[in-house]
């Protein structure tokens, strides 16, 4: 794993950003254009391509929106191999992990196509514009919102009247849950770890309370906020609980959250995006900090197909 400096991929990884007190700080995404009706980047079927990895939760949220809105034919994908190498995210020459669009060997080549002197981290997801031959965005939050607005005129995943509520959940869940597990897993001091775990489990407790009373996060219907929470829940017991030391409780210890997660899993198109064995291979890949020998644990056994008590309707 590494970083790109002026268009050259350096295998030497400076490591995830940390502040002085050992707390993890996520790098900001830098390529942030928008698809809009009437703008230069229009929502045309067949024009866009997503570069993703099954194990990446930020990529997962974009795949969920694509699946729930039925955009699989409109937006094509390339899936990078689950374990990063000294070239970062890489592709095979053929098969499931090949890149049919640009025939790239690594995701850093996609960034170099966009900007030959690119400097920064090479992350997935990346939304690529096949027509303009450039990156639209490497920020998953923007990709989720722009897909759900530009490709669905009825804004069913982000209704205008609920947008503020969706944003409120998104902000909280990003800080304390989605990125919270990384703050715990990448902490370099006890204090930073303790703060992250406290935030995470306090928020899971609040979510448990909310989801005991309501079927979903906002307005009793499926919205973008649910699709942004789900990737962290899908990885929780199999990866974060153990690999990132988020072990005060398992997802399956929260009756309402676990029921909610399974109801989301049962939505058409969602199960195809959930890959527990790949999460394990990715999160337990060799890491000097967390898992020096790269040994992947056998468990836990999880039954995602157990029917949920609640019903969540696919809006489309």
Sign (positive/negative) of CA torsion 221, 224, 229, 235? positive
Rounded to the nearest angstrom, the gap between the alpha carbon of residue 111 and the centroid of all alpha carbons in its chain is 19
Nearest 5°: CA angle at 56, between 55 and 59? 125
In the complex with ligand GSH, which residue's Cβ is closer, 29 or 33?
Answer: 29
Q: What is the smallest separation between the CB atom of 108 and ligand GSH, expressed in angstroms?
A: 9
CA atoms within 13 A on the CB side of 302: 25
In the complex with ligand GSH, which residue's Cβ is closer, 88 or 180?
Answer: 88
In the complex with ligand GSH, which residue's Cβ is closer, 129 or 259?
Answer: 129
Please name the residue that has the structure tokens 């009437």: 38
- Which one of 24, 111, 182, 254 is the catalytic residue? 182
Q: Are 76 and 129 in contact (CB under 8 A)?
A: no
Q: What is the smallest separation between the CB atom of 60 and ligand GSH, expressed in angstroms?
A: 9
Q: Are 187 and 236 in contact (CB under 8 A)?
A: no
Rounded Cα distance between 270 and 103, Å, is 27
Rounded Cα distance between 258 and 124, Å, is 27
Q: What is the smallest separation between the CB atom of 140 and ligand GSH, expressed in angstroms?
A: 3
Rounded Cα distance between 264 and 314, Å, is 9
Q: What is the smallest separation between the CB atom of 46 and ligand GSH, expressed in angstroms?
A: 23
Q: How far apart are the first and last CA of the chain?
A: 39
In the complex with ligand GSH, which residue's Cβ is closer, 92 or 191?
Answer: 92
Q: What is the smallest separation between the CB atom of 195 and ligand GSH, expressed in angstroms?
A: 20
Q: What number of other Cβ atoms are within 10 A of residue 87's Cβ?
A: 17
Q: What is the smallest separation between the CB atom of 122 and ligand GSH, expressed in angstroms?
A: 6
- Is residue 227 classed as helix, strand or coil in its secondary structure? helix
In the complex with ligand GSH, which residue's Cβ is closer, 196 or 312?
Answer: 196
- Which one of 24, 48, 56, 279 is the catalytic residue? 56
In the complex with ligand GSH, which residue's Cβ is closer, 60 or 241?
Answer: 60
What tokens does 235 get? 């990885």
Let me know how long the chain is: 316
Residue ranges binding ligand GSH (CB under 6 A): 1, 29, 56, 58, 88, 121-125, 138-140
Q: What number of other Cβ atoms are within 10 A of residue 206's Cβ?
A: 12
**Known catalytic membership, residue 182:** yes
Q: Which residues are catalytic?
A: 56, 182
């Amino acid at each position: 794993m590494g970083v790109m400096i002026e268009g050259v991929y350096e295998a030497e990884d400076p490591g995830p950003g940390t502040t002085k007190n050992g707390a993890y700080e996520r790098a900001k995404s830098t390529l942030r254009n928008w698809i809009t009706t009437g703008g230069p980047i229009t929502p045309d079927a067949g024009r866009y391509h997503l570069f993703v990895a099954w194990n990446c939760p930020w990529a997962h949220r974009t795949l969920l929106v694509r699946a729930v809105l039925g955009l699989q034919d409109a937006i094509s994908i390339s899936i990078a191999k689950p374990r990063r190498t000294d070239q970062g995210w890489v592709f095979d020459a053929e098969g499931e992990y090949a890149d049919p669009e640009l025939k790239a060997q690594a995701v850093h080549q996609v960034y170099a196509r966009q900007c030959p002197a690119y400097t920064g981290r090479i992350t997935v997801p990346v939304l690529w514009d096949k027509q303009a031959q450039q990156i639209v965005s490497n920020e998953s939050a923007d990709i989720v919102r722009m897909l759900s607005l530009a490709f669905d005129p009825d804004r069913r995943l982000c209704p205008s009247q609920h947008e503020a509520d969706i944003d409120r959940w998104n902000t909280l869940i990003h800080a304390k849950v989605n990125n919270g597990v990384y703050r715990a897993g990448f902490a370099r001091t006890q204090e930073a770890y303790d703060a992250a775990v406290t935030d995470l489990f306090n928020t899971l407790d609040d979510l448990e309370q909310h989801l005991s009373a309501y079927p979903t996060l906002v307005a009793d219907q499926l919205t973008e906020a649910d699709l942004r929470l789900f990737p962290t829940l899908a990885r929780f017991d199999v990866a974060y609980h153990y690999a990132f030391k988020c072990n005060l409780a398992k997802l399956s210890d929260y009756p309402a959250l676990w029921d909610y997660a399974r109801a989301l899993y049962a939505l058409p198109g969602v199960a195809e995006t959930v890959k527990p064995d790949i999460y394990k291979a990715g999160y337990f890949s060799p890491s000097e900090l967390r898992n020096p020998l790269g040994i992947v644990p056998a468990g836990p056994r999880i039954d995602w197909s157990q029917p949920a008590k609640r019903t969540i309707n696919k809006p489309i």
